[in-house]
Amino acid sequence: MKVLVTGGAGYIGSHTLLQLLRERHDAMVFDNFSNSSPEALKRVKQLANADFEICEGDIQDACRLNEAFGDFKPEVVIHFAGLKAVGESNEKPIEYYAQNVSGSIELLKAMQRHDCRHIVFSSSATVYGEAEYLPYDEDHPLRPTNPYGRTKYFIEEIIRDWVASWRHASAVLLRYFNPVGADASGRIGEDPNGIPNNLVPYIAQVAVGRLQHLNVFGADYDTRDGTGERDYIHVEDLARAHLAAIQFEPTKSGCEAINIGTGRSTTVLEMVKAFEQASGRAVPYQIEPRRDGDVAHSLAAVGKAERLLGWQAKLDVDDMCRTTWDWQSENPSGYSPD
Ligand code: NAD
Ligand code: UFG
């Protein structure tokens, strides 16, 4: 298929692009490189031994989108582009609404103008908000608790309305749980700017010696060992879910929201232990107060992904730690030259 990948140079986009190319799809990446490096695309090209097109542009720019759609004529869009930091979204909500919501509207307009009928959208488990019950299934009420989460919620609703208004359109809204890990080659991986907000990239930087110790945010939760429990999903499994989603034809409503997780949870301290084992390095930590806005547990119900996409996660926490360590130890400064 001809697949336009917005945000294809980013963490999840680059891993998905690699699988698309390996499966012989034609791809064009549309990215403004605001949170990524062209080096990631160079490496994907080498790993896949296949070429693809690159259009540097912002999804808020209708002219640039028109050029990309006109040149490439995609059959489907995988839409990763957007801003994703929860804390930053509280400080700059309008920037988040502009880039994520307005950008997605421009993208949908361009799709319709160019008769491109299927979209796979990167949503997040954050749309659920505080759990009324666990695991979260796709019918759980949606009550996001921060501007970033609300952009995902609004985009989901906008896509639903777009699909309902255009007989030919269809959409898959993938609600990711906690993506971690890297490609088995160790050549591409997550390369956060500055000090990482998320657990696994932070642990990796402690293990490689860039940071001194991990701050564990809360050890007094009602969980197995008092630290936060999350459903971590390997980025390679996540990428595979996108390949299933581009082929999927939602029949009833034309639009389906689908959780992408493993259905298993890991605490912060369990992750520390697994990472120490995978890396052979110590990960010193200190218990700190809870982080504002954090929940104790998050866990995906995964039955719908299995039923509709025929997809299920294959990789476990040890794979997540091993591949993260391979990437981090071989590229201690990420894509920047050391
Ligand atoms: P990322 O920041 O690594 O990738 C996003 C890419 O989009 C980057 O290459 C960036 O340069 C590009 N981009 C950003 N704004 C753009 C714009 N206005 N126009 C064009 N390109 C733009 O993030 P990621 O971790 O790969 O996440 C991809 C998607 O998945 C995001 O939409 C994110 O919200 C969603 N998501 C991520 C997580 C996670 O934990 N990583 C969890 C749930 C959902
Ligand atoms: N944690 C620490 N120390 C750190 C970082 C995290 O103890 O330095 C803990 C957190 O308190 C939490 C767990 O590790 O218990 C996971 O935290 P992350 O920041 O890695 O992930 P979150 O579940 O908080 O958030 C992630 C994404 C959000 C997304 C959410 C739900 O960052 O964008 O998953 O999908 F919305």
Residue 228 CA to ligand 2 centre (angstroms): 8
3-state secondary structure the chain: CEEEEECCCCHHHHHHHHHHHHCCCEEEEEECCCCCCHHHHHHHHHHHCCCCEEEECCCCCHHHHHHHHHHHCCCEEEECCCCCCHHHHHHCHHHHHHHHHHHHHHHHHHHHHCCCCEEEEEEEHHHHCCCCCCCECCCCCCCCCCHHHHHHHHHHHHHHHHHHHCCCCEEEEEEECEEECCCCCCCCCCCCCCCCCCHHHHHHHHHCCCCCCEEEECCCCCCCCCCCEECEEEHHHHHHHHHHHHHCCCCCCCEEEEEECCCCCEEHHHHHHHHHHHHCCCCCEEEECCCCCCCCECCECCHHHHHHHCCCCCCCHHHHHHHHHHHHHHCCCCCCCC
Asked if the model's pLDDT at residue 122 lies above 90, the reply is yes
- Predicted local distance difference test score (pLDDT) of residue 78: 98
Is the pTM here over 0.95, yes or no? Answer: yes
In a domain, 116, yes or no: yes
Mean pLDDT of all residues in 232-242: 98
In a domain, 154, yes or no: yes
34 lines ligand 2 (CB under 6 A): no
- Predicted local distance difference test score (pLDDT) of residue 250: 72
Please report, for the domain that includes residue 100, its CATH number: 3.40.50.720
What residue's CA is closest to ligand 2, atom 3? Answer: 216
- Predicted local distance difference test score (pLDDT) of residue 3: 98
pLDDT tens profile 241-260: 999 999 998 776 799 999 99
pLDDT tens profile 27-48: 999 999 999 999 999 999 999 9
Domain count, the chain: 1
- Which one from 136, 148, 176, 221 is the annotated catalytic residue? 148
pLDDT tens profile 127-179: 999 999 999 999 999 999 999 999 999 999 999 999 999 988 999 999 999 99
- Predicted local distance difference test score (pLDDT) of residue 252: 65
The token duo for 132 is 């009324």
In a domain, 25, yes or no: yes
In a domain, 143, yes or no: yes
In a domain, 37, yes or no: yes
Task: Ligand 2, residue 217: give the atom nearest the CA.
Answer: 7
Report whether 120 contacts 245 (CB < 8 A).
yes
In a domain, 124, yes or no: yes
In a domain, 250, yes or no: yes
Mean pLDDT, the chain, integer? 97
- By most ligand atoms within 8 Å of CB, the mutation choice from 268, 270, 275, 299 for ligand 2 is 268
What residue's CA is closest to ligand 1, atom 34? Answer: 84
- By most ligand atoms within 8 Å of CB, the mutation choice from 12, 150, 199, 275 for ligand 2 is 199
Asked if the model's pLDDT at residue 338 lies above 80, the reply is no
pLDDT-derived band at 293 (thresholds 50, 70, 90) equals: confident
Long-range contacts, 87-96 (Cβ 8 Å, 24+): 87/197, 88/148, 89/146, 89/147, 89/148, 89/149, 89/151, 90/146, 90/147, 93/147, 96/147, 96/148, 96/151
Amino acid of residue 97: Y
Is 148 known to be catalytic? yes
Mean pLDDT of all residues in 74-87: 96
Asked if the model's pLDDT at residue 101 lies above 90, the reply is yes
Task: Ligand 2, residue 288: give the atom nearest the CA.
Answer: 7
- Predicted local distance difference test score (pLDDT) of residue 253: 72
Between CA 144 and CA 131 the distance in angstroms is 11
Between CA 103 and CA 133 the distance in angstroms is 33
The token duo for 122 is 């990167």
pLDDT tens profile 298-318: 999 999 999 999 999 999 999
What residue's CA is closest to ligand 2, atom 29? Answer: 126
Residue 230 CA to ligand 1 centre (angstroms): 20
Between CA 319 and CA 227 the distance in angstroms is 22
Q: Indicate which ligand has the atom closest to the C-alpha of 226.
A: 2
Which of 96-105, 190-199, 218-227, 245-254 is least confident? 245-254
Domain containing residue 38: 2-181+233-262+299-313
